[in-house]
C-alpha cells in the first residue's frame, strides 16, 4: 500500500487558477489510474476526475467538466489537476488516490493519503 501526497493548494481569489500536483515515492504512478477528489467541511467526498496509466483515457464527473483538467507526466512521476475560474464552493481539501473508471465517473480505493487545502476567498 502506497501513500499519495497532494500539494499545490493555497489561497486563491474567485476567478483565479491553481495547479495541484500528486506524487509518491517508491511506486511508479504510470502503472496506475489516478483520480482527484475533494471534501468540504460538512459534505461528502466528491469525485472530480481520473486518468489512466498512459494518460490516453480520462473521465470527469459531469459537474466538474469545463473548469477542471487532469493530466500527468510519467517522467516526473506526477499527476496534475488544473483548476480554472475558481468559485467559493471550490473551497475544500483536495486528495489524489488510486482509482478506477466506473459508469459516470471515477471511484477511488485505498487510503486517501495527504490532501492539500484550497481556499477560495476575496
Give kind and range of the element (H or E) at residue 46: strand 46-51
Cell 478506477, residue located: 100
Query: Mind listing the pLDDT tens digit of every residue in the chain (122 residues)?
Result: 678 999 999 999 999 999 999 998 889 999 999 999 999 999 999 999 999 999 999 999 988 889 999 999 999 999 999 999 999 999 999 999 999 999 988 999 987 788 999 999 99
Reference 96, options 40, 21, 1, 25; nearest CA is: 21
Between CA 6 and CA 116 the distance in angstroms is 6
Reference 113, options 12, 36, 13; nearest CA is: 36
The pLDDT tens digits for 106-121 are 999 987 788 999 999 9
Amino acid at each position: 500500500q502506497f501513500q499519495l501526497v497532494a500539494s499545490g493548494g493555497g489561497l486563491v481569489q474567485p476567478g483565479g487558477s491553481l495547479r495541484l500536483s500528486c506524487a509518491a515515492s517508491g511506486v511508479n504512478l504510470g502503472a496506475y489510474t489516478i483520480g482527484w477528489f475533494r471534501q468540504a467541511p460538512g459534505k461528502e467526498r466528491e469525485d472530480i476526475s481520473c486518468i489512466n496509466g498512459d494518460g490516453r483515457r480520462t473521465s470527469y464527473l459531469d459537474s466538474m467538466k469545463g473548469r477542471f483538467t487532469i493530466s500527468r507526466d510519467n517522467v516526473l512521476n506526477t499527476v496534475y489537476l488544473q483548476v480554472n475560474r475558481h468559485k467559493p464552493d471550490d473551497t475544500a481539501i483536495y486528495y489524489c488516490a488510486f482509482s478506477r473508471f466506473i459508469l459516470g465517473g471515477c471511484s477511488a480505493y485505498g487510503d486517501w493519503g495527504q490532501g492539500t487545502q484550497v481556499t477560495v476567498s476575496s
